[in-house]
Amino acid sequence: MDSAVLLDLLGNENRRRILRLLATKPCYVTEISEYLDVSPKAVIDHLRKLEEAGLIESTTDDQRRKYFRITRSLRLEVSVSPYGFGAKSAYPAKSSLDMSGRCPHLSIELPDGSGVGPTTDLADLADEFSRLQDLDRELSLAQRWVQGRVEDTLSRIDDRLGTEADSRFFAAVLAALVETDGTPAAVAEEVGARERTVADALARLADVGVVAREAGGDDGPDRYRIR
């Protein structure tokens, strides 16, 4: 789902309260109306928007009452900092997803190599749930640590280049120098920017002594390397 659409939907407090209620159990319009203390007509309008977005779905019981429930899990992350604003949403991966080699910087222990096993024993399932909750907290802490290090790194780049610089872009350019042959064309392709823009950035980095320029021979392109 588009993150901007999701943010717009969740910007309404009553829609957030509806989702909070539906996360506990399926409900029909009257229940939701009483919970929110708003008219059924207003509730129906909120439910329609949530249903059109695919966040909820409805079913009819034996008494022909329409119940609403959350369709599936969805994760939304919003990042706001002096160096950028971003939002991304994603659905949970399937339990069958092979995590081998996907997170080389992390060590995740999987009891049977594939996540939750086929057991239906409640004690085992409760233990697995507790373990996954611990893992979720640890990953959240690790993410906060990484974000702090990223901002510290960008702040140091600001100190070298000036506060008016796009430190995140310059950081991407420097990282691309390590991964490429150092030509403006290769760096531009790596960071997804115009070659002229990258060439100007490399020239500025050279001016402040962060990178060194090596003239290309036989009319070849100049190359840059980190000092």
Tens-digit pLDDT string for the chain (227 aa): 788 889 999 999 999 999 999 999 999 999 999 999 999 999 999 999 999 999 999 999 888 889 999 998 999 999 888 888 889 888 888 878 887 788 888 877 766 545 555 667 888 889 889 999 999 999 999 999 999 999 998 888 888 887 567 888 999 999 999 999 999 999 999 999 999 999 999 998 998 888 999 887 777 788 999 98
Tokens at 54, concatenated: 């695919």
Residue 138 domain flag: no
The helix or strand, by DSSP H or E, that contains position 100, with its residue range, turns out to be none
pLDDT at 195: 94
pLDDT at 97: 82
pLDDT at 163: 58
Q: Name the nearest CA neighbour of 3 among 80, 86, 70.
A: 86
> Order of strands across the sheet with 56-60?
27-28, 66-70, 56-60
Residue 140 domain flag: no
25: domain CATH number? 1.10.10.10
Residue 171 domain flag: yes
DSSP lists the bridge partners of residue 211 as 226
- Report the phi/psi class of residue 130: left, alpha or beta, with left for phi > 0 and alpha for psi in -120 to 50: alpha
Last residue of a domain, one of 26, 45, 70: 70
Residue 173 domain flag: yes
Residue type, 115: G
pLDDT at 119: 66
Residue 57 domain flag: yes
Strands (E), the chain: 27-28, 56-60, 66-70, 75-81, 84-90, 211-214, 223-226
Domain range for 193 is: 167-226
Residue 32 domain flag: yes
pLDDT at 24: 96
Last residue of a domain, one of 25, 42, 70: 70
Last residue of a domain, one of 70, 88, 113: 70
Residue 26 domain flag: yes
| Cβ contacts of 191 within 8 Å, gap of 6 or more | 169, 172, 173, 176, 198
Residue 182 domain flag: yes
Number of domains, the chain: 2
pLDDT at 27: 95
Asked if 173 and 186 touch (Cβ cutoff 8 Å), the reply is: no
